A and B are shown apart, each in its own frame.
Chain A
Amino acid sequence: MSRLVRCCQALCAAAALLLSACAHQPTAEVRGTGDLGIVIERATGSVQIVDHSRQTSLGRVEGLGDLSHAHATYSRDGRYAYVFGRDGGLTKVDLLARRIDRRVVQAGNSIGGSISQDGRLVVAQNYEPGGIKAFDAQTLELVSEVPAEYAPGQFSKVVGLADVSGNRFAYALFEAGEIWVTDFSTPAAPVTQRYPAGKQPYDGLVTPGGRYFMAGLFGEDGVSLLDLWQPGQGARRILGGYGRGEEKLPVYKMPHLRGWAVADGKAYLPAVGRHEVLVVDLTTWQEVGRIPVAGQPVFVMARPDGRQVWVNFAFPDNAQVQVIDTLDRRLLTTLSPGKAVLHMEFTPRGEHVWVSSRDDNRVTIYDTDTLQPLKVLPAQAPSGIFFTARAGRIGF
């Protein structure tokens, strides 16, 4: 009997401890994360946690290292952002507690990363040392790595990493001119297939749904296309006219392909070095049109419903954003969100878009229907904006 009493007393004490611990959590409010996101502040190594329903910043998390080129991917529950920094830092940020959950420095020079289909592995793509590394998504412990050693002693920078089905990751090797697909079904023993792709692939993406991996080529014209449903067929060249063409124009910033816009059976993609957005038929892979724009496009992004495509530009035309109506492929408007527009992110269903202006230290929220600014949020040299809706998308 006395034992039972002692046991009860111990339980009560434990419960009291737990309650007091809960009371000290910073998250007083019980809430979901479906309308949260982060804004990268590239010069200060910080991120702002934002709420796109209330259009406000909830707070700032600091100490993420060099974010001069940063990318983020999300845990499948949308609670944690994995932020990949230029200095090889991989930081797991808790959006609810608004603090760093874990952080590792995993390489000397990194460019981004992605999360596996099952949500258990976070994979970083690195320039130095060239290759990819897989981490346990919970603990950030290294699980395995695939060095991009394409010839004995020769390592390549890895670009365009994308998660695809079957816990596989597709990516391109800049120096090697190859596309690699690594299968992490057995996380500690990944299996890699190699496919010749063409000269100097500089970025890659998977099409919505994840069937095709495409790598833009810098060293020659065209795009390398790998059908991930039939990878044994190898990568083939499409869009022979895509690239810098006969007259090699200087390219002041590499276009990002990740925002590749698909709308109404057509893809809209940035021309390389030219002031044009190209329109490509997705059944024939033939170019079917070109839309003149204000500068060299960097991101060409479709509103989630596909009706609009938003475009930002490389230096020196980077104070503008242009909007294209995909129904008749004409320019709807030219906006001036501020100096050095680096990124845009749509709300999950596309009624708003958030636009970062690095040199005016602000993020502008636009209504995509009226094309009018709704609100301006201050941010320190903002670059990438990443909403948690990415958690459920292939290739993000």
Chain B
Amino acid sequence: MDRTLVVHVLVLLGLTGLGVVTAQAAGPEPARRAELVRMVRQDCGSCHGMTLKGGLGPALLPESLAGKPSASLVATVMSGRPGTPMPGWSRFVNEAEAEWIIQRLQEGFPPVALGAGS
């Protein structure tokens, strides 16, 4: 067997493996991401503001979330916060999606594309 071919195959396999890992770390598929972005802006936005600067609920901007552990933020999204109006959203998002949302919020949430059924 040609050594270069083996190297090529190995490199390709490695790239494929890398691709899988990257896809997992990147979270939801693009179509689902768009749904999640819209849900956060519009539906979470009914209390937290569409610009996430806060309303009846607190602001969800990177500076307002700074220092709060991600795990507890994910738990708040999934199960809500007793004693406040914050409901749990586990009916609509799974744990991985909640983690993806929290990561995006911590780094500055993406906008909803205008006119794209937003």
Residues of A within 8 A of B (CB): 42-44, 66, 68-69, 86-87, 108-109, 111, 127-128, 157, 159, 174, 200, 202, 218-219, 250-254, 315-316, 339-340, 358-361, 380-381
Contacts and interface: CB of A to CB of B under 8 A. Distances in A.
A42 B43 contact: no
Contacts of B45: 68
A157 B39 CA distance: 25
Interface string B93-113: 000000000000000000010
Interface in B18-64: 39, 42-43, 45-47, 49-51, 53-56
B42 A340 contact: yes
Of the four ranges (under 10, 10 to 19, 20 to 34, 35 or more), the interface on chain B belongs to 20 to 34
A252 B87 contact: yes
B49 A250 contact: no
Given A43-B118, A202-B56, 5 more contacts: A86-B55, A250-B80, A252-B43, A316-B92, A339-B117
Contacts of B117: 339, 359-360
Contacts, number: 74
26 contacts: A43-B112, A66-B49, A66-B51, A68-B45, A68-B49, A68-B50, A69-B46, A69-B49, A69-B55, A86-B50, A86-B51, A109-B53, A127-B54, A128-B54, A174-B56, A200-B85, A218-B85, A250-B80, A251-B87, A254-B56, A315-B39, A315-B46, A359-B42, A359-B117, A359-B118, A380-B115
Given A127-B55, A200-B85, A381 B118 contact: yes
B57 to A, nearest CB: 10
B92 to A, nearest CB: 7
Contacts of A254: 46-47, 56, 85
Contacts of B87: 250-252
Among all A-B residue pairs, the 3 with the closest Cβ atoms: A250-B87, A68-B50, A315-B43
Interface SS majority for chain B: loop
Interface SS majority for chain A: loop
A250 B88 contact: yes
Contacts of A68: 45, 49-51
A111 B56 CA distance: 9
B38 to A, nearest CB: 8
A157 B50 contact: no
Given A66-B51, A127-B55, A128-B54, A253 B46 contact: yes
Interface string B80-94: 100101011001100
Contacts of A253: 43, 46-47
B44 to A, nearest CB: 9
Residue from A174, A250, A251 whose CB has the most chain B CB atoms within 10 Å? A250
